[in-house]
Amino acid sequence: MNIQLPHSILQSGKHLLLSGSKSESNRALILQALFPELTVQNLSTADDTLLLQQALTSHTEVVDIHHAGTAMRFLTAYFAIQQGKKVLLTGSPRMKERPIHLLVNALQQLGADITYTEKEGFPPIYIRGKKLTNNEVHIQGNVSSQYSSALLLIAPALPNGLTLHLEGEVTSLPYLKMTINLLAHCIGQEQVSFKANTIKVNTMNGKNLLHNSWEVESDWSSASYWYAFVALSPIGTTLSLSYFKPHSLQGDSALKTIYEFFGVHSSFKGNELTIEKVAEPQQKRFECNLNATPDIAQTIAVTCVAMGLECHLTGLHTLKIKETDRLQALQTELRKLGAEVSITHDSLHLAPCPHLRSGISIATYNDHRMAMAFTPLMLKTTLEIADKEVVSKSYPSFWHDVAQLTVKR
């Protein structure tokens, strides 16, 4: 179902409690499945997290994770070490187009028994769980940090631990560090090391966790849309968000710095984050390498087009293997609004857009972030968002929150 968004304003002074981070939640759930004594609070309510929970407790031989890319990667590694368990891991048609061969190859280096059932290098995959005694593996670091995280999360449960060598430039490094920091919290700082491009994780070998509880921080990726709303609002507009940490594990907390360019200031009082529009942009061109934070590229591009700014974003090569080819989708939908957009395999350039077309219908391509990234445009014009239900993948209450915090002009 599509949703019509009227030209609106964001109400100032409101407060919003956001669900736990999907990225943190999914990592914590894998560790909890391997070490049941671990308790996890403030789990994400996103579809991806619910699908992962269901898969981890499933007793069926076929596990369908639909569009959940993180679940596909993490479960591939998890099921590979479940001795005696046989699983066909599959997903949506788009999931079957998203490569997984780098992770499968790495697991096979460790001794895993995994075969492709349709197209070589892509899901579905058939996994026969077994004990993996090899403990050293090489993997490309510049494709998806989720491959590396999937391997690291099972490392404490491997009989000989794991030494992981990352080859080339490491993409989405904050997400990799999130995994490492969560492991260090649970099993001990001395059990995990990251030097140069080599990560070592020691085996737990039946030992108890150092810390057996974890509280998930709210989701900075979800906060990004509200940063855009505030950026497109009048000076003096404020919005408070909870539960956030000044020193976050999440890469998208870089929003605090990035959105200073757009005149948005961030401040903390305990675990409450207040964002305020304090100024208009002082420059007409925004340029940023988002190699570490590719998930906020769509939101930033839409913010720039709404503010009439020139924009040049790089480090976007992973966007082509997300829920959709996000670079192509961004180009197509921004052009509908009247923007001049050019893309390469890893960059996007946006010329200043002096006027936004009204009443445009934005296609979402089964991609939750396309739907939510374009929504703040309702502060500038009327528009329609297609397939509004897609937001449930990461932020199920998004449309409720939009309705509560905005008022028609």
The pLDDT tens digits of the residues spanning 312-335 come to 999 988 776 666 688 899 999 999
10 & 43 share domain: no
165 & 240 share domain: no
Categorize the per-residue pLDDT at 174 as very low, low, confident or very high, splitting at 50, 70 and 90.
Answer: confident
What are the C-alpha distances in Å from 142 to residues 8, 16, 123, 222? 41, 35, 21, 25
Domain encompassing residue 199: 22-215
Distance of CA 290 to the CA centre of its chain: 13
346 & 289 share domain: yes
152 & 224 share domain: no
323-337, 350-364, 394-408: which range is least confident on average?
A: 323-337
51 & 186 share domain: yes
pLDDT score recorded for residue 322: 61
293 & 206 share domain: no
CB 113 within 8 A of CB 127: yes
168 & 301 share domain: no
The CATH number of residue 34's host domain is: 3.65.10.10
pLDDT score recorded for residue 170: 85
313 & 350 share domain: yes
Angle at Cα 59 formed by Cα 55 and Cα 64, nearest 5°?
40
Categorize the per-residue pLDDT at 5 as very low, low, confident or very high, splitting at 50, 70 and 90.
Answer: very high
Give, as one character, the DSSP assignment of residue 202: -
The pLDDT > 70 percentage for the chain reads 99
286 & 147 share domain: no
Categorize the per-residue pLDDT at 96 as very low, low, confident or very high, splitting at 50, 70 and 90.
Answer: very high
Domain count, the chain: 2
pLDDT digits (tens, 9 = 90+) for 232-267: 999 999 999 999 999 998 989 999 999 999 999 999
**Average pLDDT, stretch 204-228?**
94
Q: Burial-class residue 85 by CB neighbours within 10 Å (0-12, 13-18, 19+).
A: middle
pLDDT score recorded for residue 321: 61
Task: Enumerate the active-site residues.
Answer: 295
Q: Which of 215, 242, 272 is the last residue of a domain?
A: 215
278 & 209 share domain: no
Q: Which of 178, 197, 215 is the last residue of a domain?
A: 215
pLDDT score recorded for residue 393: 86
Q: Average pLDDT over the chain, rounded to whole? A: 95
CB 380 within 8 A of CB 362: no
341 & 351 share domain: yes
35 & 128 share domain: yes
Q: Which of 192, 215, 238 is the last residue of a domain?
A: 215
pLDDT score recorded for residue 60: 94
